[in-house]
Structure 1
Amino acid sequence: MAIEPPDELIELQRASDAAHEAVRQNPTDETWAAWRDRAGEVQAAVTVYATEVGEPRNQVEAAVKKAARYPEPPAGA
C-alpha cells in the first residue's frame, strides 16, 4: 500500500527544502538556524504521523520527500 502523506507534511517539507536552498545561496548563521528549525519540524511531524498511521517512519519520510519534490501532474494534464 502506497503512503499518501497529508498536504501539511508536504508543505512542511517544501518549507524545509526552501530553507536549505537559502543556506546554499547565503550560508549565514540565520539561514542555518532557519533550516535546522524547519528540518526539525518536518522530522517531528513525520514521526507523529508515522505513529498515527502505523507505517515505518523511514517510509513515511521518503513518501513525504517524494511528494514534496516530485509532485504528480494533475489528472487530465
Structure 2
Amino acid sequence: MAIIEFPDDLIALERSAWAEIQRGELTVETARAVHEAVTAFAEQAGLRRMDVELGLKTLVRYETAA
C-alpha cells in the first residue's frame, strides 16, 4: 500500500472517532462524518476508499507518543 498524506482535519476526525470507540460512545453522527470525509478524500485523491480508511485507522490507532 502506498503512503498516503492525510490532511490534519481528517486525522483529527478519526482521532475523535477512535476516542469515542474506546469509551464505548461512538455516535452515528461521528461514524457518518468519518465515512463521508474518508470517501470524499479518497475520491479527490484518486484512491480506493478502503485503502484510505485502512491507512487512516492504522495511523491513528497505532501512532506512538512523541
TM-score (norm 1): 0.71
Q: Percent identity?
A: 34
Q: Mean alpha-carbon deviation: is it higher for 38-47 or for 2-11?
A: 2-11
In structure 2, stretches of 5+ residues that fail to align are none
TM-score (norm 2): 0.81
Q: Letter of the aligned partner of 2:46 in structure 1?
A: G
Deviation of residue 72 (structure 1)?
Answer: 5.7
Deviation of residue 35 (structure 1)?
Answer: 2.1
Deviation of residue 73 (structure 1)?
Answer: 6.5
Q: CA RMSD in A?
A: 1.8
Q: Letter of the aligned partner of 1:36 in structure 2?
A: V
Kindly tell me the number of residue pairs found equivalent between the two proteins.
65
Contact 1:13/1:64 (8 A) holds in 2? yes
Q: For 2:11 and 2:43, how far apart are their aligned partners in 1?
A: 17
